[in-house]
Structure 1
Amino acid sequence: MQFRKNLQQIIEHIQTDEQYSNNIVNWHTIPEREAQTVPFPVSIDSRLKEALQSRGVKELYTHQGQAIDITRKRENFVAVTPTASGKTLCYNLPVLQQIIDDPSSRALYIFPTKALAQDQKSELNELIEALGININSYTYDGDTPSNIRQKVRQAGHIVITNPDMLHSAILPHHTKWVALFENLKFIVIDELHIYRGVFGSHVANVIRRLKRICAFYGSNPIFICTSATIANPKELAEKLTGEKVTLIDKNGAPAGKKHFVFYNPPVVNKPLNIRRSATLEVRKIASEFLKNKIQTIVFARSRVRVEILLTYLQGLVQKELGPKSIRGYRGGYLPKQRREIEHGLRNGDIYGVVSTNALELGVDIGQLQVCIMTGYPGTIASAWQQAGRAGRRQGEALIFMVASQAPLDQYVIGHPDYFFNRSPETAQINPDNLIILVDHLKCAAYELPFKKGDTFDGVELEDILEFLTEEQVLHFNNGKWFWMNQSFPAHNISLRSASQENVVIIDQSDVAHVKVIGEMDRFSAMTLLHDEAIYLHEGVQFQVEKLDWEEKKAFVREVDVDYYTDANLAVQLRVLEVDKERETEFASVSYGEVTVQAMATVFKKIKFDTHENIGSGPIHLPEEELHTNAAWISLNEGIKNKLTDKKLEEGLIGIANLLRHVAPLHVMCDPSDLHVVPQVKAVHSEKPTIFLYDRYPGGVGLSEKVYEIMEELLAEAEQIISHCGCESGCPSCVGMEATGEDGKQLSLKLIELFRDGQKRMLL
């Protein structure tokens, strides 16, 4: 078959051509795996069995059989197997069997994105059609027309939605959903690993509200969760649902052969150990496959990087393949665009897609053969998810991980065993974060009044309810707390970002047809949508003509320039209260409450291709203030006397640069959720200090986890510096700002002091 032969030819070409082979650090082949199956259980209806057999499912994989056994015992479970292993049947089979047995039964499916919900709905509907029984499955999201919504509420056996819609449209209007809540037998939560950090903490409270409403209507549904590989799926499922769950983690699905290639761009400046840009290397590698019409997905870490790569690749292969053959995919695109791209990938019209982690989830995007990651995705779990997007239909697949200059990338690329043998990361959530909890208690009180003695899935409430009564948000009468505000609480609470409002992006290139082309959270807008910023959307460049900060609107116009922009945030941090502390002879590790003032100050213009700085300008935006939690490590007295402030600062900046990359990996959060600030003289203690803080009001437990594992983080930072091939510090270890004569040695010495206070060392 020509398609397969092309892939084989290119694999041989990459292995022999020096421009590629010299940069390949590790070529790891994962062999094919045979399926492990079990016969259909006798409890499965013969019509359901026939429908599955007509779709090629002759037997069940072992994990699917286990899922059916557990639901028959009316127990909750979480199934953790790789992408494309048939997790969907783990919940579709028990749900359909239940509806066949009792047609009044209902199920609620929760997917983290609308794209995934749409995808799963089409798969479910095909199975229902083959079954030939009248079972109604409907999607209920922001795109559902109002004339269909009533039908969904009354007649939907299976309602497919997302957490945002459940939070703002279903739970507050539960009186319209009586048929669903009275007969709810199953709640399915797909892609469980996505519910971590801020988002997961919010969703755990949405689930608490959902359970409260189910109890009000007399139902007690079973929770079915599915997840990609993480270290603590059982713990996360139990925290998210507030219920005991059984773990299913033995995968019975087959898998095709996978080639996993670790690729490190060549060094272009030996003394500084600066490598060629990962973005430019990815452009070169991806174009090899695209020119041969081999379907390829390229992942990039940020929206800006997606758009830069898309611009590069379209310029290289658009003439040969056609204008719509390579597309971008990320948050901020409108739903219609995203559906069009998913469809184009499935039917083969689109050969290449450049995406953020938005396509990391289990959307079926067809016969992709190649996956290229621009830089390490940040977690082992994420890397395997992205790798799983290629070769989904048991075909051979090639995965490239192209390292960036970042310390963690260089560490992972140089230690393949770390990647292939280490267990994935732990997902953290903190449903009891006071700010998040209070927000959802307001929503819960709006939905149903609280009675004296009530808890919120085990959380004692009386103090908070009394506080909300004093604030005149609730009214206490006859032993109950009632919502008394005129506003509708759920509308003002965003589940997904630290800020409550998004900035809307308005294209006014054509004055007669002004249109909204996307949106962005407030914190990101400070550095990406300021006046004169270049905003990239679907490979098209727009310049921000005006950012109306009060009205949360950015007005943009299409331009054609050969640069993009990048902005800096100036951060001031003060300690309010110390909650925990431990000391060694030379250092102390602390955790507590801090206040952070952040301000966007300056932006740079960076030229395409060469990535050189060609200009800059000021940003005029108000300061944002944040009360949150932080972990910090301080060097005790005596160190300052042995080092000048300049040398001390250089060493601290080097360590901070490493922790910025290492810490998010261990607490499994987005790097933007955890910020790092070094201070030569901290305001509260006058000691050299490095702070790591949660970028969310009140914190979500990330910095608390950092406090617990600080020594482990420092040990990893030390390894990265020690193994780096540079002489005196480089972007791959201590970062550009600390690459002085002895930046590397200074950072190493300081880490040794931070780590081992019992050893006396002479600087």
Structure 2
Amino acid sequence: MENYFAKKKPTVDDLIRMIADMGGRAPAIKRLPPRQAAFGDFGALDHRIVNALKKRGVEALYSHQSEAVACALAGKDCVVATPTASGKTFCYNLPVLHAALQDANARALYLFPTKALAQDQLVEFAELAALSGGDVRGFVYDGDTDPVKRRLARSEGHIVITNPDMLNSGILPHHTKWSDYFKNLTFVVVDELHTYRGVFGSHLANLFARLARICEFYGARPTFICCSATIANPEEHARALIGREVTLITESGAPASEKEVIIYNPPVVDWNTGVRRSSLFETAKIAAAALAGGISTIVFTRSRLNVELLLKSIRERLEKAGADPSMIMGYRGGYLPKERRKIERDLRSGELRGVVSTNALELGIDVGSLGLAVLHGYPGSIASAWQQIGRAGRRGAVSAAVMVASADPLDQFLAQRPEWFFKAATERARIDPYNPYIQVSHVKCSAFELPFRGGEKFGGREVDEILDYLTDYEVLHRVDEAGERRYYWQADSYPAADLSLRSATGENYTITDVTVESRPVVIGTMDRRSAPTLIFPDAIYMHGGKSYIVQSLDTEKMQCFIKEMAADYYTDGDAALRINITDDFETQGNYGWGEVVVTLTPTIFKKIKLATHENAGFGQIKLPEEQMHTTACWITMPEERQEDAGLKLAMEGLEHLIRNTAPLFLMCDRADILVTSRLKDPQLRRAALYIIDNIPGGIGLAEGAFEIKNELVKTAVGVMDSCGCKNGCPGCVGAPAGNFEIKKAVRELAGEIMAGR
């Protein structure tokens, strides 16, 4: 490995030189210039806080901080949507500390999406409170908090820092122990608001409806302070989550350091097929060279499997270069909490120089000063891309970010048209608080916490129909009291304990390592939705850079048993889909959307060589079918095309393009939608392409696809046209189709669809 970073202070130019020598193209090297600060005043903040800030060298607040503080102190709910590392912490810490210094009884609830963020914020708040000289106490209250500190948090905590999961299962169901706290609750802080979208956000909206009932019961109406990275609809999203009107603050006054953002496209290795050198190994090469040269590096990738593959490849390259392979670790969902906390600590201390992560580290967790962010492929949304890019250079130093384009059509579209990426607006965050699976679960939890009155609203809507349904199934007991209906909890179970906020149905597999049979060890979890094509007998499961083979799966008890194995391949499962439309909500031209029942039957899996990505064999997946009620958007093909011999190939090309393009508009993970085509759909009686919301009950993704239908198809064609291949390749329409002019066929088909023919 050539050392491009031999100097004591490696520069961005060294990185650019290395990438240029790798043989690919860097169609965009965008310099983001430094931005000057804009300041505001301290307003009505307690003088002790102002003095504490000045001791820390803060002579004035940034303009957005000043505006947020004034808004909060006036009791107005607000949402601050400014870029990464713009100092949003002051927007809530300052008014909360002010309230605690003015009134010793004032209380605040801080809500973060992860435990790691909660630990970070406690340190930050404690330092500021100590400098202010007041007796203001803060506590983290999560699953790792010991019983003594839990009691102190309830009785003495001016601020309680927690996460949605703990609020759901550990605080709201036990509100009687928190009566003084809720009676004096003054502020609710919701940070990283943009992460609360899809299923998680839909759960959170219902969680806030439960919180609102409890606050009202104790006579409190706290002010909400929400913070978000840049998204297209922060005001609308905050309003949907908390159920209140909010003041929007978007103009950042924070300065920004210089940053170089590079989009790198690996070289073509076969001009006939358009196949490029593996983006995974190009990413590993860049990261390994940077780490070996002393540059602290964070690598982002889109899947758990890729975290493990990249970690393995980077360590092998470091070892060959004579560097310590343990300087980099993996970080993803499925790792156990203690493992993740240690990685965070080691990154902050500098013991670790690098990390390979899914989007779990997009958030504002303090992992120290990182010089380089490498994005393995476009992460799926403009907002996520800028969050990941922003993780490098957070402490003011000149830094760089490299996005390595994969073979996916959308990545190639961005590599060919980088100006689109740099000018594109961020996406809309979407939630559906009224998803029936989700709302029913939270109404049950809320009824456990406080009885419901007939006609009472929950999250802005009456829920008598749900209450009567739960009564019919003897979960609730309905009584008439003085002419008023009341619904009381009567089931034996404790509903919040079984409710997962990350999935609509709350079912997860436990993954247990039985390599040493006498000492089985739980090493991870996986949601039921992902499991059929990832963990099945004979599947390879990767964790911590090691390979395991799945020995058995208990689909009733939701348990997966794995054993360590030295495998030179990984597995990729496939499944067959059946779709039944149960309700047609709306039809326009060739587009429609409505309710569907999707039946998924796992079929086969491929074995793929780690070193070459060649197919090394296949096997059968023998698991029961899974059924899901959800929503879908469908696109019917023009009537005159039904007998066209080339229609199937054109549809498959369009399907491939939309599968990769839709997440760009819907701000969702690729796994959150299913895209499939039918040459003759038995219900629509025409050829059709489906965009399915891959969440039980749906969370608005199908409706979102219907709203942007023509734009979605138009962009899909733009992605195809940006590919330099002559007649279709894996980088645009999927597999090439021999002599058939597939690109022309897709272009013509899309034009007819958009014209409504």
Cα deviation, residue 37, structure 1 = 1.8
Which residue pairs with 1:657 in the alignment?
A: 656
Counterpart for residue 412 of structure 1: 414
Conserved? CA contact 1:498–1:695, under 8 Å: no
TM-aligned CA deviation for residue 738 of structure 1: 5.6
Corresponding residue number in structure 2 for 1:155: 156
The 2-side partners of 1:121 and 1:4 are apart by 39
In structure 1, the residue corresponding to 2:585 is in which secondary structure?
Answer: strand
Distance 2:219 2:165 in 1: 24
Q: Name the count of aligned residue pairs.
A: 749
Corresponding residue for residue 350 of structure 2: 348
Match of 2:691 in 1: 692
Q: Offset at 1:364?
A: 0.9
Name the CA shift for 1:17/1:747 in 2 (closer, same or farther; >3 Å): closer
- Following superposition, the deviation at residue 19 of structure 1 comes to 2.6
Percent sequence identity over aligned pairs? 47
Change (3 A) 1:3 1:251: farther
* Closer, same or farther: CA 318–54 of 1 in aligned 2, 3 Å: farther
Query: Partner letter of residue 700 of structure 1?
Result: I
The answer on 1:670 being equivalent to 2:669 is yes
Q: Which residue of 2 aligns with 1:166?
A: 167
Give the superposition deviation at 1:396.
Answer: 0.6
Q: Does 1:543 align with 2:549?
A: yes
Provide the C-alpha distance between the structure 1 equivalents of 2:696 and 2:739, rounded to a whole number of angstroms: 36
Task: Give the conservation status (yes or no) of the 8 Å contact 2:285–2:317.
Answer: no
The 3-state SS of whatever aligns with 2:22 is helix
Corresponding residue to 1:426 among 422, 425, 428: 428
Shift of 1:740: 6.3
Greater shift, 746-755 or 616-625, is seen at 746-755
Cα deviation digits, residues 226-272 of structure 1 (max 9, x gap): 00010000000011011110111111111111000010011111111
2:365 aligned with 1:363, yes or no?
yes
2: CA distance, partners of 1:40 / 1:4: 46
CA contact (8 A) 2:139 2:149 kept: no
- What letter is aligned with 1:714? V
Which residue is equivalent to 2:51?
Answer: 50
- 1:581 pairs with one of 575, 584, 587: 587
Which residue type is aligned with residue 107 of structure 1?
Answer: A
What are the superposed Cα offsets for residues 451-490 of structure 1, whole Å, 9 maximum, x if unpaired? Answer: 1231113202222222222222221112211112111122
2:533 touches 2:602 (CA, 8 Å); kept in 1? yes
> Could you list the per-position Cα deviations for residues 505-532 of structure 1 after superposition, in whole angstroms to 9, with x for gaps in the alignment?
1112223432111111112222221111
What one-letter code is carried by the residue in structure 1 that aligns with 2:388?
A: Q
- Measure, in 1, the Cα distance between the counterparts of 2:36 and 2:8: 25
Moved more, 259-268 or 532-541: 532-541
SS of 1:736's partner is: coil
**1:192-341 correspondence runs (5 A):** 192-318=193-319, 320-341=322-343
Q: Are 1:475 and 2:481 an aligned pair?
A: no
CA contact (8 A) 1:106 1:156 kept: yes
Deviations 1:52-106 (A, max 9, x none): 2233322211111111111122101101111111100100000000000001010
CA displacement at 1:722 relative to structure 2: 2.1
Of 610, 613, 618 in structure 2, the residue corresponding to residue 611 of structure 1 is 613
**CA distance in 2: counterparts of 1:141 and 1:739, whole angstroms:** 58
What's the offset of the Cα at 1:391? 0.2
Unaligned runs of 5+ in 2: none
Q: How far 1:737 sits from its partner (Å)? A: 6.9
Which shows bigger deviation, 232-241 or 653-662? 653-662
Q: Judge conservation of contact 1:729–1:739 (CA < 8 Å) in 2.
A: no
Cα distance in 2, alignment partners of residues 461 and 318 from structure 1: 61
Distance in 2, matches of 1:554 and 1:74, equals 50
Which residue does the alignment assign to 2:452?
A: 450
What SS does the corresponding residue of 2:642 show, helix, strand or coil? helix
**Comparing 145-154 with 348-357, which one deviates more in the overlay?**
145-154
Q: Distance in 2 between matches of 1:738 and 1:122?
A: 59
Deviation at 1:683, TM superposition (A): 1.4
Instruction: Please give the alpha-carbon distance, in whole angstroms, between the structure 2 residues aligned to 1:17 and 1:93.
Output: 44
Matched, 1:63 2:69: no
Q: Does 1:489 align with 2:495?
A: yes
TM-score, with structure 1 as normaliser: 0.96
- 3-state secondary structure, aligned to 1:20: coil
Alpha-carbon distance in 1 for matches of 2:466, 2:338: 42
- Name 2:741's counterpart in structure 1: 742
| Structure 1 residue 324: Cα displacement | 2.7
1:716 is displaced (CA, Å) by 0.5
Where 1:550 maps in the other structure, the secondary structure is coil
Match of 2:680 in 1: 681
Kindly provide the amino acid, as one letter, of the partner of residue 508 in structure 1: V
Match of 2:110 in 1: 109
1:299–1:82 CA distance, 2 compared to 1 (3 A): same
Give the aligned partner of residue 761 of structure 1.
none
Aligned partner (choices 597, 600, 606) of residue 598 of structure 1 = 600
Whole-angstrom CA distance in 2 between matches of 1:209 and 1:87: 27
> CA offset at residue 4 of structure 1?
11
Find the aligned partners of 2:674 and 2:141 in 1 and give their Cα distance. Answer: 36
Residues 653 and 737 in structure 1, CA contact (< 8 A), matched pair in contact too: no
Q: Deviation of residue 186 (structure 1)?
A: 0.3
Q: Secondary structure at the match of 1:638?
A: helix
Q: CA deviation at 1:217?
A: 0.2
Aligned mates of 2:136, 2:19 — CA distance in 1: 56
- Partner of 1:741, secondary structure, is coil
Unaligned runs of 5+ in 1: 759-763
State the Cα distance separating 1:735 from its structure 2 match.
1.0
Tell me if 1:629 matches 2:631.
yes
CA distance in 2, matches of 1:471, 1:81: 47
Q: Distance in 2 between matches of 1:13 and 1:263?
A: 12
Q: What secondary structure does 1:734 align onto?
A: coil
Q: Secondary structure at the match of 1:63?
A: helix
1:343 shift after superposition: 1.2
Aligned residue in 2 for 1:23: 25
Partners of 2:499 and 2:664 lie apart in 1 by 28
Q: Which moved more, 1:144-153 or 1:225-234?
A: 144-153
Question: For residues 434 and 739 of structure 1, what CA distance do their matches in structure 2 show?
Answer: 47
Letter in 2 for 1:631: C
Query: TM (normalized to structure 2)?
Result: 0.96
Q: List per-residue Cα deviations over 1:345-394 (Å, max 9, x = no partner).
A: 11111111100000000001111010000000110000000001000011
SS of the residue aligned with 2:532? helix
| AA matched with 1:718 | V
Contact 1:195–1:203 (CA under 8 A) maintained in structure 2:
yes
Separation (CA, whole Å) in 2 of partners of 1:233 and 1:76: 13
Report deviation, 1:148. Answer: 2.5
User: Is residue 503 of structure 2 the alignment partner of residue 506 of structure 1?
Assistant: no
Partner amino acid, structure 1, of 2:90: L
Q: Distance in 2 between matches of 1:481 and 1:738?
A: 62
- Deviation at residue 5 of structure 1 after TM alignment: 5.5
